[in-house]
């Protein structure tokens, strides 16, 4: 095994947002030297990594030159220059997740085609290169529209119910999916290292904000039968086996009315659906990511207690310097841990942090989570 700890080994990370910030907690724990590349000078990671580089993640030369300075390269966001990663990999740099995996996942059309090709259950879809091409198709309402690239946290996803909804869509490469009636949105995080060792986290359940299309709560374990949980885990394992990825893969799933499991989409990185693990799991997802990309033994994914995560997003009607109202009140609640991401400016629905609630009783945790949600407010002056 290479000596990664308290050594001259340099881990490079593309992206310096909140996922990177939480990853750095683990690299600090292991004393692994970490270099970050991000476009924003005030990125959450900027002040706390060993080495910070500002630059465009989609620019070939910027990513390539950064990659030449490190011993292994990983990501915390998938919107990066793939050609630069492919060249670095050809030249012998270890890049995880592998550029070929990112290439299949980064574009939602290619991602859906990959599912179909590998017999992974997913909703029917069609690909379009422009809004004009989509309008000519004469599709039946309602349907789900997704921008093929650069969508995140509800951005780039719309349920199109009528012609008016159709007219305000962005003119871009996109996919259209059947609107699936489902009971639950679930997720499974799969960790895989270079030796082929695989671990799955418990199935979690995601509750969404009806307007922002953002996750409001992540509940672990999901309130589903053992049979459905096993089915969801097996589908996630099939996805991981098909990609042969190294690192973490978050697999988002639908549980249909008749208990079928369909893959919605995947993310090849640490993920919002795994934040609960920082307080609730034996090995949190960020430590597991470090273990998997460095080909270290994977840690236990079991939960010590029930965990619920509440996303902290900017309140509607507020933009500017951020204030977290009623922080003292939530800190007075048992089992409550806030995580503030370090973004100085808030705006409506911007993801600013999260709060984890742990409890031996899941129903009790869910009640406290509701109380947290109704108490803390992310506002501005």
d(CA 289, CA 269): 8
Query: In which region does residue 222 sit, left (phi positive, over 0), alpha (psi from -120 to 50) or beta (all else)?
Result: beta
DSSP-assigned letters across all residues of 160-196: E-SHHHHHTS-SSSEEEEE---EEEEEEEEEEE-TT-
Residue 113 lies in a domain: no
The string of pLDDT tens digits covering residues 22-74 is 999 999 999 999 999 999 999 999 999 999 999 999 999 999 999 999 999 99
Residues 208 and 281 both lie in one domain: yes
Q: What is the mean pLDDT of residues 135-139?
A: 85
> Is 227 known to sit in a ligand binding site?
no
Instruction: Please check if 146 is assigned to a binding site.
Output: yes
The residues with which 53 forms a beta bridge, in sequence order, are: 37
Position 156 scores a pLDDT of 83
Both structure tokens of 262: 């369909």
- In terms of domains, do 130 and 228 share one? no
Cα separation of 288 and 131, whole Å?
Answer: 41
pLDDT computed for residue 167 by the predictor: 86
343 is in an annotated binding site: no
Is the same domain home to 160 and 86?
no
Is 295 among the annotated ligand-binding positions?
no
CATH number at residue 188: 3.30.470.20
Same domain, 239 and 132: no
Task: Give residue 138's pLDDT.
Answer: 80
155 pLDDT higher than 90: no
Question: Which region among 163-167, 206-210, 315-319 has the lowest average model confidence (pLDDT)?
Answer: 206-210
Q: Is residue 166 part of a domain?
A: yes
Quickly state the pLDDT bin for 117 (edges 50, 70, 90): very high
What pLDDT, on the 0 to 100 scale, is given for residue 38?
98
**Is 179 assigned a ligand-binding role in the annotation?**
yes
Res 209: pLDDT: 75
**Mean pLDDT of the chain, nearest integer:** 95
pTM of the model: 0.95
**Statement to judge: residues 197 and 252 lie in one domain:** yes
Domain identity same for 241 and 289: yes
Residue 88 in domain: yes
Answer whether residue 30 is part of any domain: yes
Q: Are residues 49 and 192 in the same domain?
A: no
Residue 108 located in a structural domain: no
Verify that 243 and 367 share a domain, yes or no: yes
Say whether both 360 and 294 belong to one domain: yes
Q: Which pLDDT band, with edges at 50, 70 and 90, does 152 fall under?
A: low
CA 266 to chain centre: 8
Element (H, E) at 338: strand 336-340
pLDDT digits (tens, 9 = 90+) for 360-377: 999 999 999 999 999 999
pLDDT confidence tier of residue 154, bands split at 50, 70 and 90: low
Q: Is 257 annotated as a binding residue?
A: no
Q: 196 falls in which pLDDT band (50, 70, 90)?
A: very high
Residue 337: pLDDT over 90: yes
Q: Is 87 annotated as a binding residue?
A: no
Task: Identify the pLDDT of residue 289.
Answer: 98
Establish whether 357 is an annotated binding residue. no
- In angstroms and rounded to an integer, the radius of gyration of the C-alpha atoms of the chain is 20
Contacts 24+ apart (CB under 8 A), 365-373: 365/306, 365/307, 365/308, 365/335, 366/217, 366/219, 366/308, 368/308, 368/333, 368/334, 368/335, 368/336, 369/217, 369/308, 369/310, 371/333, 372/310, 372/330, 372/333, 372/336, 373/216, 373/217, 373/310
Q: Does the pLDDT value for residue 4 go beyond 70?
A: yes
| 225 and 324 both lie in a single domain | yes
Q: Is the model's pLDDT at 197 over the cut of 90?
A: yes
The total number of residues shown for the chain amounts to 381
Q: What is the pLDDT of residues 62-115, one digit of tens each?
A: 999 999 999 999 999 999 999 999 999 999 999 999 999 999 999 999 999 999
Element (DSSP H or E) covering residue 100: helix 99-106
Q: What CA–CA distance (Å, rounded) separates 297 from 301? A: 12
Domain that holds residue 149: 124-178
Note whether residue 103 is domain-resident. Answer: no
pLDDT for 153 beyond 60 = no
Is 230 known as a binding-site position?
no
Q: What pLDDT, in 10s, does the model give residues 203-251?
A: 999 998 777 667 889 999 999 999 999 999 999 999 999 999 999 999 9
Q: Which two tokens stand for residue 228?
A: 């459905």
Note the pLDDT of residue 205: 97
Is 258 part of any domain? Answer: yes
Provide the sign of the torsion angle of the four alpha carbons 69, 74, 80, 86, taken in this order.
positive
Residues 263 and 285 grouped into a single domain: yes
Domain count, the chain: 3
């Amino acid at each position: 095994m290479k000596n990664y700890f308290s050594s001259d080994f340099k881990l490079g990370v593309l992206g310096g947002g909140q996922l990177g910030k939480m990853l750095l907690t683990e690299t600090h724990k292991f004393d692994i030297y970490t270099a970050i590349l991000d476009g924003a000078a005030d990125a959450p990671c900027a002040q706390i990594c060993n080495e910070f580089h500002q630059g465009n993640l989609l620019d070939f030369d910027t990513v390539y030159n950064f990659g030449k300075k490190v011993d292994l390269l990983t990501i915390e966001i998938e919107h990066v220059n793939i050609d630069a990663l492919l060249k670095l990999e050809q030249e012998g740099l270890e890049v995880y997740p592998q550029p070929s995996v990112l290439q299949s996942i980064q574009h939602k059309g290619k991602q859906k085609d990959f599912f179909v090709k590998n017999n992974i259950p997913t909703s029917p879809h069609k690909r379009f290169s422009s809004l004009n091409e989509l309008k000519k198709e004469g599709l039946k309402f309602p349907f789900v529209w997704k921008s093929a690239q650069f969508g995140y946290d509800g951005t780039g996803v719309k349920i199109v119910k009528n012609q008016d909804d159709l007219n305000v869509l962005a003119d871009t490469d996109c996919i259209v999916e059947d609107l699936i009636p489902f009971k639950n949105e679930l997720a499974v995080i799969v960790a895989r290292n270079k030796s082929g060792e695989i671990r799955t986290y418990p199935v979690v359940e995601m509750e969404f904000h009806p307007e922002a299309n953002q996750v409001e709560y992540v509940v672990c374990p999901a309130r589903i039968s053992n049979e459905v949980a096993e089915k969801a885990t097996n589908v996630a394992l099939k996805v991981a086996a098909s990609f042969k990825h190294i690192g973490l893969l978050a697999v988002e799933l639908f549980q249909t009315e008749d208990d079928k499991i369909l893959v919605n989409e995947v993310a090849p990185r640490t993920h919002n659906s795994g934040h609960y693990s920082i307080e609730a799991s034996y090995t949190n997802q960020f430590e597991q990511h470090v273990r998997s990309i460095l080909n270290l033994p994977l840690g236990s994914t079991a939960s010590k207690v029930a965990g619920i995560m509440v996303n902290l997003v900017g309140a509607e009607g507020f933009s500017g310097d951020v204030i977290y109202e009623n922080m003292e009140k939530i800190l007075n609640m048992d089992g409550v841990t806030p995580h503030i991401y370090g973004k100085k400016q808030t705006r409506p629905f911007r993801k600013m942090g999260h709060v984890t609630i742990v409890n031996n009783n899941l129903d009790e945790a869910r009640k406290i989570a509701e109380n947290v949600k109704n108490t803390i407010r992310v506002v501005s002056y």
